[in-house]
Amino acid sequence: MEDVISHWVRDAVRRVRAIDMHTHLFPPAFASLWRSGADHVLTYHYLIAEAIRAGHRSPASFYAMPLPDQAAWVYAQLFEQASPLSEAAMGVVAIARAFGVDLRRDGLMGLREALCDQPSDRYAARVFELAGVDQVVMTNDPLDPAERAYWLEGAPVDARFLPALRLDPFLGDWRTLGERLAEAGISLSPRADASDLAAIRRFLEDWIERMRPLYLAFSAPPEWAYPSEDTSGRVLEACILPACAAHGLPLALMIGVRRQVNTALRDAGDASGRANLQAVERLAASHPDLKILVTVLSREDQHELTVLARKFANVVPFGCWWFVNTESLTREISAMRLELLGPTFVLQHSDARVLEHLVYKWASARELAAHVLVHKYTKIARTGWRVTRGEIEREVGRLFRDNFLRLVGRA
C-alpha cells in the first residue's frame, strides 16, 4: 500500500495546476517592467550576493558593468569555477534543463539562445506550462511612476497575471510618502492630520477600483508593531484596514526584512530579523473578520506563527519566503504546518522576479510537497486510516491553489 500511496501523491502533485499568490512579475503589456532571459536569470539578487562573495569583487565594480557582462561574470564564478550547490544556483541548472540546455555542454551562450528576453505572450504561455502554473499574482505599486503609467493608459492585463496592491510606501517615512504622492498629484501636509489621511484613503479607493486587487499587502521590518501611534500606524488604522473591510480584501503581511544592511549590494543587501508576532496577534484579535495572510522571514519565527494561526482562524500562513525558501527549511516548515494546522495554509509562492523563476521554484515546491505528503499519508495509513486517491488529490489541490482562491473569494 505504501508504494501505491507514493504513486498517488506524486501523480497528484505532478498534475496539479498551481496559483502563485506572490510574485514580482508583470504581463507582456507592461513591457519595461518585464524580466526574462538568461541575463536576468543570472543577475537575480540571490546570485549576485553569492557571486560577489565567491569572486571577492567589490559591489561597485560589479554594478558598473553592463547587464550582459554582469551575467557572464556571475556565470563564471558560480558555474565554471565552482559547483552550483546553492539553492539559487541549482535553480539555474533546473531552468536550463527544462529548456533543453546542458550547461556543461552549451554554456552561457546556449542558455541565452534558449531563453527569450523580450515580452511575449507565447513565451509566457510556454513558461507557465513548464512550471505547471495557471496564474500568478503580481506586486503592484501605484506610486511607481513606470507602473502607474501603464495602469493609467489602460495597458491590457493578461488574465494569467492577477493584481495585488502593494502598500509599503504608505507605511514608511511620512516625508517620503508625501514626495511620492506629490508625483501622483496628491498633496499631503507635514502634519499627517485627518485631511491627509482622507486623501490617502481616497487614493487607495481609486486604485482598488482601477486594479481590482486580490489583496492588499506590505512587507515590514522585524520591529513592526500594532497598534502604533506613529504615522504608519495611523495610515494603517484610518486608511488600509477600512479599505480591506469595505472591499472584503485580505491583508498580506511579509514580516522580518531588514533593508539594506549592506547598501553596496543594493537589492542583494537585505537581511532578516526576528518578527514581533504579537503585533499580528493583536491585529487578528481586534479585526476578527479580516483575513490575514502572513509569511515571516526568520526560521525562528515559523513555529510561533503556526501556533498563532491555530488560535486565530483568520490568520493563514503562506509559503516559505526568501531566506527560508531552501530545501531543508521548506521541508521542516511545511511539515510543521501540516502537523499543527492540517492542510489549511498556502503551501508555497515563488516570489519570482524573473519569469523563468517559475520553472525551478515550482519544481522545488512540487518535490517538497511530494516528500512531505508521502510521509504523512504513509503514516496515517499505518495507523489504520484508509487512504484514498481522491482525498490526496483534494488536499494537494487545497495546498497548491484552492486555499488561496477561497481566501480571495475566487473559489
User: How far is the C-alpha of 208 from the C-alpha of 165, rounded, in Å?
Assistant: 8
- Mean pLDDT by runs of 10 across the 411 residues of the chain is 95 98 98 98 97 97 98 98 97 98 98 98 98 98 97 92 97 95 95 96 98 97 96 97 98 96 94 96 98 98 98 98 96 98 98 98 98 98 97 98 97 79
Contact 334, 305 (CB under 8 A): no
137 φ, ψ (degrees, to nearest 5): -100, 130
Tell me which amino acid residue 339 is: E
- Residue-by-residue DSSP string for 247-308: HT--EEEEE-EETTSSGGGGGGG-EE----HHHHHHHHHH-TTS-EEEEES-GGGHHHHHHH
164-316 to CATH, choices 2.40.110.10, 2.170.190.11, 3.40.50.12780, 3.20.20.140 = 3.20.20.140
CA distance to 76, 93, 104, 311, 361, per residue, from 108 (Å): 9, 11, 9, 50, 21
User: How far is the C-alpha of 358 from the C-alpha of 135, rounded, in Å?
Assistant: 11
DSSP code, position 134: E
User: How far is the C-alpha of 97 from the C-alpha of 410, rounded, in Å?
Assistant: 34
Cell numbers for 117: 528576453
Pairing mode, strands 165-166 and 216-220: parallel
Give me the pLDDT at residue 106, please.
Answer: 98
Cα-to-chain-centroid distance, residue 377: 28
Say if residue 227 is preceded by a cis peptide, omega within 30 of 0.
yes
User: How far is the C-alpha of 372 from the C-alpha of 262, rounded, in Å?
Assistant: 36
